Amino acid sequence: MNLPKRYLITSALPYANGLKHIGHLAGAYLPADIYVRYLKAQKRDVVYVCGSDEHGTAIPIQATAEGTTAQAIIDKYHPIMAQNFKDLGIDFDIYHRTSDPLHHETAREFFTKLNDNGNLEIKESEQYFDEQANTFLADRYIKGTCPNCAYENAYGDQCERCGKSLSPDELINPVSTLSGNTPIKKATKHWYLPLDRHEDFLRNWILKEHANDWRSTVVGQCKSWIDGGLQARAVTRDLDWGVKVPAKDAEGKVLYVWFDAPIGYISATKQWALNTGKDWRPYWEDKETKLVHFIGKDNIVFHCLIFPVMLKLHGNILPDNVPSNEFMNLEGDKMSTSRNWKIEMQDYIDDFINKENGGSQMADVLRYYLTLIAPETKDSEFTWQGFQDANNSELVSIFGNYVNRCFVLMHKLCKGKVPPLHAEALTDLDKATMAEIQGTKEKVENLLEQYKFRDALFEVINLSRIGNQYMQKKEPWIVAKQTAENGQPTAEAQQSIDNTLHICLQLCANLAVLINPFLPFTARKMCYLMKVVDKMLDWDNAGKLKLLSVGYTLRAPELLFRKIEDSEIAYQLEKLKSAIVSREAAVVSKEPVTMEENSPKFADVKSEIVFDDFAKIDLRVGTIVSAEKVEKADKLLKLSVDLGFETRTIVSGIALHFKPEDIVGKQVTVVVNLAPRKMRGIESNGMILMAEDANGKLHFINPEGEINAGAGVS
């Protein structure tokens, strides 16, 4: 196998608007860290970069909401996130940040090169503009009613309640969050990355060259995007938070966050090089560098399509692989920050690591379970019960217990020293066990090279299982009872004991080397117990049977892991339950719940209108005379509504809530002078008023008793 000259490993830049949860950890950070630790143990040339993504509109918006500045937000979260990663053993070579001047400089250079080379397009488009604030409004500065779920405070890029991606044009009743005014449309100029020009390249590169070595989920997702037709994507935004666009007539424009964030990998590498006196260029320019991006599946489009196009245009190397993980669910539901259904890294650190209940070893317990259930091929499921079981019956009972019984027996039967190996007395079982040690090394290696972290970890644990079986069959504690007249074991018995424990201890040392990428704190504690330096953890030592010298005194046994009590699990489940409560409150309030405020809130009252505004709306009572499902649409019903003076066709998105046959004859309130709008090819002439309850269920607004169709409502 031709080894790459050097490696550059990246983990997705976490967005610096809040704390990250264990789903993020399992998806983009932990696997990368394992891979990097493995490469470093092999003494390969590897740099692992990451950093906070600190631009985008969400951060200044959040700042406004919290009455602070964008800078204050990122300054608050950047160090906490960096510390969280450190506490969990995620060992970046550099954790940079995109607000750093070096990053701005790097991103501007990148943009300029593409722009100068004619790789970007400039287009004029109509964008919302706030006249009072005299500024164009980025998507997130526009709020309005979500066309998907009718949530009234949906943002121009996404509805926080139903999670749907939106564009500002889709919002109903758009309002500027800066002034509260209705924005006007105004022409503005933006730079675009014409992805459509690169379809052939992407198709060939991903769907042909990497059809077999990339994960099928990744290739499939890319195929879906490519087949769906690639379009030019705006590279710039009208905003004053971010990297200023280095071009003429670009006043008030910054690079769109998706463009500048991945460049953060490059600027982080530059900063690392500055810190260490190295040259960053080969890592991004030399074809012999292996670039690997670790991400979650929501990031596939950026790392497999957009950023590679950018890199190619800019003259950089392309990623060798993008081992994206699927999502990790939590106790039967999707993890979600806005719904407060999550376990933050900080929560875990507070509850399990910082207290006097296990220390850093507990970081390894989380690393263990998250790797065990890593969503490598499909969405997976985190349960606290599973966490407890994995710890108590695997880490503690199999791995930890093996190490412990080795040490205890060695102290009891071998005077606390590594016993000699009597080659002449080796049994077949001894030899087979020694072979297993070497075999495990190769298995783990192969699996890691294929990014199969879950399977690789299993093989390591399995080696401790083999150790337990070996010890059980050799039963040195029984052999020790074959005593001579002096009360000591016979010479023959002692030979057997020596050989058994010698092999057991070498196996222990191997476990430390092999577990090191996965559970680094544990590996170090094992080194401490064996009184060896960390250098023993070099991957070269894996499979070797002379890691511990004969006659060497080892420390007294100490437990590697502790059991996790039922009460701890009950407490965590209770914590989550209270999150359900606040989530229900969130639905009532139609407001994303923040950690601090769990009390129900109602949507903000819209800005005041005069009577004439209201009088413009013509409301009538109508009777539904027929209803049918609209073809090829999940949510639409085509209704005929008798309004007295005429019967109209109205298309309404209520199919998920009502069966057509159940609503015929119902009286409803209709906005009759709304401009017609085509939906799925059917013209809708009016709008049915609906009320939504706390569970998201829709109800008709209708008169108390039956009245004549066409009656006015005021």
Partner RNA sequence: GGCGAGGUAGCUCAGUUGGUUAGAGCACAGGAUUCAUAACCCUGAGGUCACGAGUUCAAAUCUCGUUCUCGCUACCA
Asked whether position 394 contacts RNA by CB under 7 A, the answer is: yes
Do 253 and 188 contact (CB within 8 A), yes or no? no
| Among the residue ranges 283-291, 392-400, 436-444, 547-555, the one whose residues contact RNA (CB under 7 A) | 392-400
| Among the residue ranges 27-35, 146-154, 287-295, 611-619, the one whose residues contact RNA (CB under 7 A) | 146-154
Do 135 and 129 contact (CB within 8 A), yes or no? yes
Least separation in angstroms between residue 391's CB and RNA is 9
| Among the residue ranges 33-41, 87-95, 183-191, 380-388, the one whose residues contact RNA (CB under 7 A) | 380-388
Nearest to 330 by CA among 368, 252, 385, 284: 385
397 vs 647, beta carbon nearer RNA: 397
Size of the site for RNA (CB under 7 A): 86
Asked whether position 132 contacts RNA by CB under 7 A, the answer is: no
Q: Which 608-637 positions form the footprint of RNA (CB under 7 A)? A: 632-636
Least separation in angstroms between residue 104's CB and RNA is 28
Q: Which 39-78 positions form the footprint of RNA (CB under 7 A)? A: none
| Among the residue ranges 136-144, 394-402, 427-435, 507-515, the one whose residues contact RNA (CB under 7 A) | 394-402
Nearest to 712 by CA among 643, 640, 619: 619
Please state, as a whole number, how many other Cβ atoms lie within 10 Å of the Cβ of residue 179: 16
Asked whether position 86 contacts RNA by CB under 7 A, the answer is: no
Asked whether position 659 contacts RNA by CB under 7 A, the answer is: no
610 vs 675, beta carbon nearer RNA: 675
Do 437 and 511 contact (CB within 8 A), yes or no? no
Asked whether position 239 contacts RNA by CB under 7 A, the answer is: no
Least separation in angstroms between residue 635's CB and RNA is 5
Do 321 and 292 contact (CB within 8 A), yes or no? yes
Asked whether position 386 contacts RNA by CB under 7 A, the answer is: yes
Asked whether position 203 contacts RNA by CB under 7 A, the answer is: no
Least separation in angstroms between residue 289's CB and RNA is 28
192 vs 225, beta carbon nearer RNA: 225
143 vs 253, beta carbon nearer RNA: 143
Binding RNA (rule: CB under 7 A), the pick from 133, 178, 545, 679 is: 679
- Residue position matching structure tokens 């424990």: 501
Coil, strand, or helix at residue 399? helix
Asked whether position 165 contacts RNA by CB under 7 A, the answer is: yes
Q: Which 432-461 positions form the footprint of RNA (CB under 7 A)? A: 454-455, 458
Least separation in angstroms between residue 525's CB and RNA is 10
Nearest to 511 by CA among 416, 403, 429, 361: 403
CA angle 346–349–353, rounded 5-degree value: 170
Coil, strand, or helix at residue 508? helix
- What does the block give as tokens for 336? 């979600």
- Longest Cα separation, the chain: 116
Asked whether position 398 contacts RNA by CB under 7 A, the answer is: yes
Asked whether position 21 contacts RNA by CB under 7 A, the answer is: no
111 vs 214, beta carbon nearer RNA: 214
453, containing H or E segment: helix 453-474
Q: Which 299-338 positions form the footprint of RNA (CB under 7 A)? A: 326-327, 334
Do 23 and 328 contact (CB within 8 A), yes or no? yes
Q: Which 467-496 positions form the footprint of RNA (CB under 7 A)? A: 468-469, 471-473, 475, 477-478
Do 268 and 283 contact (CB within 8 A), yes or no? no
Least separation in angstroms between residue 563's CB and RNA is 5
Q: Between β-strands 637-642 and 380-382, what pairing exists: parallel, antiparallel or unpaired?
A: unpaired
Q: Between β-strands 232-234 and 184-194, what pairing exists: parallel, antiparallel or unpaired?
A: antiparallel
189, containing H or E segment: strand 184-194
Distances (CA, A) of 593 to 164, 588, 598: 17, 11, 6
Question: By CB neighbour count within 10 A (0-12 exposed, 13-18 middle, 19+ buried), where does 165 fall?
Answer: exposed
| Among the residue ranges 5-13, 159-167, 345-353, 574-582, the one whose residues contact RNA (CB under 7 A) | 159-167
Least separation in angstroms between residue 590's CB and RNA is 11
Asked whether position 647 contacts RNA by CB under 7 A, the answer is: no
- Alpha carbon distance 421, 424 (integer Å): 9
112 vs 488, beta carbon nearer RNA: 488
46 vs 526, beta carbon nearer RNA: 526
| Among the residue ranges 57-65, 313-321, 385-393, 606-614, the one whose residues contact RNA (CB under 7 A) | 385-393
Q: Which 550-569 positions form the footprint of RNA (CB under 7 A)? A: 559-563
Asked whether position 378 contacts RNA by CB under 7 A, the answer is: yes
- Alpha carbon distance 511, 541 (integer Å): 11
Least separation in angstroms between residue 19's CB and RNA is 21
Least separation in angstroms between residue 422's CB and RNA is 21
171 vs 291, beta carbon nearer RNA: 171
Please state, as a whole number, how many other Cβ atoms lie within 10 Å of the Cβ of residue 507: 25
Three-state secondary structure of 302-325: HHHHHHHHHHHHHCCCCCCECCCE
- Residue position matching structure tokens 């195929």: 223
285 vs 381, beta carbon nearer RNA: 381
Which residues neighbour 469 within 8 Å (Cβ) at sequence distance 6 or greater? Answer: none
